[in-house]
A and B are shown apart, each in its own frame.
Chain A
Amino acid sequence: GEKVEQHESTLSVREGDSAVINCTYTDTASSYFPWYKQEAGKSLHFVIDIRSNVDRKQSQRLIVLLDKKAKRFSLHITATQPEDSAIYFCAARRNYNQGKLIFGQGTKLSIKP
């Protein structure tokens, strides 16, 4: 079945540095790739997404890159701040006619002062 693999289970970066979280997917029909953030004990909040018709998208300090050939996408958080500490989940959705998101395992990001 479809799988999304999130390579880093934990990541620690110094405040102000950049953090990169990488994901790969197996289903070549995947066309939509959102990222969600989950703070301790809370729900998931959407942060940014990218569709398969582009290979880069930026929203303020967040950049998502998509490499369809390698079936890989990544989230870059620049100039990290303490409030970026959370678990980040990547996800992928198949083609237009399917609604379910397949999530990666999550990456716990810690920002050190």
Chain B
Amino acid sequence: GPKVLQIPSHQIIDMGQMVTLNCDPVSNHLYFYWYKQILGQQMEFLVNFYNGKVMEKSKLFKDQFSVERPDGSYFTLKIQPTALEDSAVYFCASSLRKSGNTLYFGEGSRLIVV
């Protein structure tokens, strides 16, 4: 089936450094999402993105977070600076349309901030 690819699969980073998580969504999809999952439990919505703009974001999407998709390439989540509580698995997802459509998730990027 359709695949969402995420790079890196895992990364260890010093607190205060910057990290960029990359997502290659399904090729014809138009809506992109980031979710955060801690300890294999709750999937928390961070942000969704369409047509070059953030459409919705949660309170977990702190000022240190930013997303972009320059020139239709990777959809990225940047955290600058990172904090210890940013340690989690970040899942990217994409869908063809906003409503009534399945979200396809990537395998996740495990981020460990030390």
Specify the chain A residue showing the minimal Cβ separation from B43: A103
Interface-lining segment among B11-19, B63-71, B100-108: B100-108
A96→B48 contact, CB < 8 A: no
Contacts A43-B107, A100-B48, A100-B56 known; A89 to B43 CB distance under 8 Å?
Answer: yes
- B-facing residues in A83-113 (Cβ within 8 Å): 87, 89, 91, 93, 96-103, 105-106
A45→B33 contact, CB < 8 A: no
For A40-51 the 0/1 string (1 means CB < 8 A from B) is: 001111100101
Contact among B31, B35, B48, B102 for A49, CB-based, below 8 A:
B102
Contacts A43-B107, A44-B105, A49-B102 known; A99 to B31 CB distance under 8 Å?
Answer: yes
Q: How many A-B residue pairs have CB under 8 A?
A: 60
B56→A99 contact, CB < 8 A: yes
Interface of A is mostly: strand
Given contact pairs A51-B100, A99-B50, A103-B42, enumerate 9 new A-B contacts (beta carbons under 8 Å). A32-B99, A34-B102, A44-B91, A46-B102, A100-B33, A100-B56, A103-B35, A105-B42, A106-B42
CA distance A45 to B108 in the complex (A): 12
Interface residues on B, range: 20 to 34
Nearest-neighbour CB distance to chain A for B83, whole angstroms, equals: 23
CA distance A45 to B103 in the complex (A): 9
- A residues lining the B interface (CB < 8 Å): 32, 34, 36, 38, 42-46, 49, 51, 87, 89, 91, 93, 96-103, 105-106
B56→A98 contact, CB < 8 A: yes
Write out the residue numbers on chain B whose beta carbons fall within 8 Å of the beta carbon of A101.
45, 103
- A-facing residues in B44-78 (Cβ within 8 Å): 44-45, 48, 50, 55-56, 58
Nearest-neighbour CB distance to chain B for A53, whole angstroms, equals: 11
For B1-31 the 0/1 string (1 means CB < 8 A from A) is: 0001000000000000000000000000001
Write out the residue numbers on chain B whose beta carbons fall within 8 Å of the beta carbon of A100.
33, 45, 48, 56, 58
Contacts A46-B103, A97-B99 known; A105 to B41 CB distance under 8 Å?
Answer: yes
